[in-house]
Amino acid sequence: MTTGAGKQAFVPLPLLAAAWLIVLPDPSAAAAETDRRARDGDDSAHYRPYLSVGAAVISPENVRFTDGADSGKAALYGENRFDAGMIEDGPQARFAAGVRFSSAFRLQLEYGLTRDLEYSGNTNYDNSGERQPSTAMLDTRQVLVAAFRDFTPWEYAPDRVVRPFLGVGAGFTKFRLGNYRQRFPDPPNPDGPLRRGPGGEIPYTALPPGSDRNFTYMLTAGIAIPVGENMELDLSYRYADAGEIHTDIGEIEIVRYRSSGARREIPVTINETFTDFRAHSLSLSLRFEW
């Protein structure tokens, strides 16, 4: 893993799974899609509800934590100081309930959940060494209302069809950022203020946790593959902007060691620190329509 540079590529397992399903012949699915196209020709038909369940691999963009708004407390970083790194790729569970209004349009309410996304970064405080590793954990819960435009199915091989779609959504993301620590293992002066403890303990600064609810929007594109009567497998790419994630106003815990080996804990109340949270994802979902 590289910190503050390019993201590592993740293996798109949903894409591989969908490719396998595309190659595998399924005449019954194609027949079901033909019947559906005939049925969809009458847009005056009753609304058709559906349920969807799936999983995604999300890949957040690189992040840089800096000082937030001045709330009358101390600033942690100051000018030209920050903590830069990446949030590791991770899984997201997705559940949705929706309604098809016509052959072209549908609307859904969806819920997405991620747990224990790992942040790894490096701070650049003065006189603290080149290597100042930082770590944190991030959980998110996302609720979106999404609208989709389904296009005419096309047959790319005998008895095999797909239906392209585009979508846009908006809602909110609730996040919790915790276990945020910045460590100083290699100070320029090993016997100075950042000296290690008597047992080799590394001095660190622990930041307060943060939680909030942010406006979120997403854009998506994908294909729907019929896999049986009234069932489709959705393979999609998504970009989501979830606003800012931040630590709350509160006390940082500065842990240092005296020359005698005694441990010092120095509480200092600071302003928020924040970064933008944007992510790309590939998802695979099974959609059942009545």
Query: Are 196 and 122 in contact, with CB atoms under 8 Å apart?
Result: no
Query: Over 50: is that where the pLDDT of 28 sits?
Result: no
Residue 229 pLDDT class (50, 70, 90 cuts)? confident
For 31-73, write each residue's pLDDT tens digit. 554 455 545 545 545 689 999 999 999 999 999 999 999 999 9
The share of the chain scoring above pLDDT 70, in percent, equals 84
Residue 228 pLDDT class (50, 70, 90 cuts)? confident
Residue 21 pLDDT class (50, 70, 90 cuts)? very low
Instruction: State whether the Cα torsion 105-109-115-120 is positive or negative.
Output: positive
Query: Over 70: is that where the pLDDT of 146 sits?
Result: yes
Q: Which amino acid is at 15?
A: L
Place of tokens 């949705």: 96
Q: What is the pTM of this model?
A: 0.84
SS3 call for 252: strand
Average pLDDT for 103-129: 97
Average pLDDT for 276-290: 96
For 159-210, write each residue's pLDDT tens digit. 788 999 999 999 999 999 999 999 999 999 999 999 999 999 999 999 999 9
Q: Which amino acid is at 102?
A: S
The whole-angstrom separation of Cα 15 and Cα 18 is 5
Residue 7 pLDDT class (50, 70, 90 cuts)? low
pLDDT the model gives residue 17: 47
Average confidence score pLDDT of the chain: 88
pLDDT the model gives residue 157: 80
Nearest to 110 by CA among 137, 79, 141, 146: 146
**Paired tokens of 9:** 């590529």
Taking the domains of the chain in order of start, what are their residue ranges?
A: 13-289
Q: 13-289: what fold? A: Porin (2.40.160)
The share of the chain scoring above pLDDT 90, in percent, equals 79
Query: Over 80: is that where the pLDDT of 16 sits?
Result: no
pLDDT the model gives residue 44: 45
The whole-angstrom separation of Cα 288 and Cα 50 is 5
Nearest to 233 by CA among 19, 85, 7, 9: 19
Query: Are 213 and 172 in contact, with CB atoms under 8 Å apart?
Result: yes
